Amino acid sequence: VSFNGIPGADVHFVSSSEISCKTPSQAEGMPRELVITNPDGQSDTYACAALPVPRIISPVVPEYGPVNGGAEVTITGYHFIEGVRVTFDGVTAEDVSLISDKKIRCIAPEHATGSADVSVINPDNQADNCTGCYVYKAGFTLAPAYGTTEGGTEVVITGQNFSENTAVSFDGIPAADIRFVSSSEIHCKSPVHDAGITDVTLTSPDSQADVCTGCYNYLSPSAPLKIGKVCEAQELDCKTASANLWVSGLIALNPIRRVWAIIIPPVTDPSVPVTYLPSVELEDSDNDGIYEGSFEDFSITGASYKVGIYAEDEEKYLAVPPLQTGVTRICRKGDIDRNGDVSLKDALIGLSVPIKMNVSLPNNPAYKAVDADGDEKLGLAEVIYILKQLAELK
C-alpha cells in the first residue's frame, strides 16, 4: 500500500475486502493517490483526500505548571483525531484524552525550569507546534490566585519543603491567619491591598525567601470581573467559514452569568448598534474553565473580522475592558470560485469570462485574494497560473 508513492506502515491483511495500515506524513493539503499492489504485481489506484493537518490555535491552558509535571493541560485547535499524541519539548505527555476534534487534555511530563514547545501529532504523523507555549516553574502556586482588595480571601499555597513558622507576605504586607498544614501546603488569608497584580513571598524561619512574581491578582469590589486569555487571531481557508472561539482564565469575585462573543464584519458602519451585530454564546460545558463556542458564518474572504469577547457576572458587572481577537478567511491564488481548491474549474471560469475583457477586479479583498499576478485584473495570467499549479501536482 502506498500514498503518493510513499509506502504505508503496519500494513495488515484483514480479508479479501479489507486492509488496514497507517498513512505516511505528507505535505499539508496534498491530495493522496492510494495504490494497492498484490504480490503478483497487479495493482489498482484510488484518489482520496488528505487528512487535515492539526492546528493549535492558542496557548495551552494553564500556560504554566510545576517542574515535576503532573498538571492537567488543555489544548484547543482543529483537526485532532483519535490516537493523537502530545509532546512537551519532545517528551510524551501522559493520559492524552481526545475530548473533541477541537480539544485535547493531557498530563504534562517533568521538565526543567523554563518554557517548552508543545506539539500535537496525529496518527498520520501530521503535526503542529506551539513554540514556548508552556512554562515550567519552580517554587509554589496559589489557589485561588485572586481575591478582593478588602482582603480576607482564604488562599492555599502548595509547593515543596515548607517549614513551620514560615512567613507569607503580599507585596511586603504580612498575610493573616497563616497555618502550616504540611511540608507541601500552607493556608493563609490575603491582606488588604490596592487592585492589581502582586508578588507573594514565603520566608522561612532561617530568613530564606522564595518569591512568586505576579502570582496574585487583587480585584476591586466595583470591578470584580476580568477576562484572562482569549483565542489568538485565526486564519481560515476558503473551504471553511466556521471558527472555534474561546476564553479562559476568567477572574471573578461573583459567579459567572454569561460569556459571549460579538462578531464585527469587515465592512460595518460604526453607527450600527452593537446589539444588531451577530453574536455567539460561549459555554463552559465540561467545567474546565474554558468558555467556547463556534461561529459558522465568517463568509467574507480576504478581510478580517473583529471579535469582541465579553463576560458578565450574576451581579450584572461586566468585564472591563472586553478583549478582542480576529478571524480572517483567505483564498488561495487562482481559486476563482473560492471553494478552497485550485482546479480546472477555476481555469474554465477564467477563460469563459475575463479573457475578452481582462476584467478589473472590484475593490473588494474577496476578489483580490485570487489575483495571481497582482495586476488587479482577472485574465490569462490567472489561467496560466492555475494550469501551472495543476501541472506541478501531477
pLDDT at residue 374, as a whole number: 66
Q: What is the CATH number of domain 141-219?
A: 2.60.40.10
pLDDT at residue 317, as a whole number: 94
Give the DSSP H or E segment for 118.
strand 114-121
**How many CB atoms neighbour CB 288 within 10 A?**
15
Domain at 55-137, CATH class: mainly beta
Residue 343 confidence class, pLDDT cut points 50, 70, 90: low
User: Which residues touch 335 (CB under 8 Å, ≥6 apart)?
Assistant: 238, 341, 342, 346, 369, 370
Place of cell 488496514: 20
Distance CA 55, CA 60 (A): 12
Per-position b or e across 248-275, b if 16+ CB within 10 A of its CB: bbbbbbeeeeebbbbbbbbeeeeeeeee
Answer positive or negative: Cα dihedral of 137, 139, 145, 148. negative
For the chain, what is the mean pLDDT? 85
Residue 375 confidence class, pLDDT cut points 50, 70, 90: low
Place of cell 492537567: 72
Helical ranges in the chain per DSSP H: 344-352, 365-368, 380-393
Specify the DSSP class assigned to residue 82: T
Q: Which of 218, 302, 230 is nearest to 261 (CA)?
A: 230
Whether the predicted pLDDT of 2 surpasses 80 = yes
Under CATH, domain 225-330 is a member of which superfamily? Immunoglobulins (2.60.40.10)
Measured in whole angstroms, how far is the alpha carbon of residue 244 from the centre of its chain? 9
Listed by start position, the domains of the chain span 2-48, 55-137, 141-219, 225-330, 344-393
Q: Do domains 141-219 and 225-330 have the same CATH topology?
A: yes
Whether the predicted pLDDT of 61 surpasses 60 = yes
Q: Which of 195, 147, 192 is nearest to 174 (CA)?
A: 192
* Mean of pLDDT values over 175-182: 97
State pLDDT tens for residues 217-263. 999 999 999 998 898 899 888 778 899 999 998 999 999 999 999 99
Whether the predicted pLDDT of 305 surpasses 90 = yes
- Which amino acid belongs to residue 202? L
Q: Which of 84, 217, 207, 51 is nearest to 149 (CA)?
A: 217
Residue 104 confidence class, pLDDT cut points 50, 70, 90: very high
Spatial contact of 187 and 154, defined as CB atoms under 8 Å apart = yes
State pLDDT tens for residues 118-162. 999 998 888 999 999 998 987 888 999 999 999 999 999 998 889
Q: What are phi and psi of 389, to 5 degrees?
A: -60, -45
State pLDDT tens for residues 350-367. 665 544 445 555 554 445
User: Which residues touch 131 (CB under 8 Å, ≥6 apart)?
Assistant: 117
Q: What are phi and psi of 351, to 5 degrees?
A: -75, -35
Spatial contact of 261 and 297, defined as CB atoms under 8 Å apart = no
pLDDT greater at residue 236 or residue 393: 236
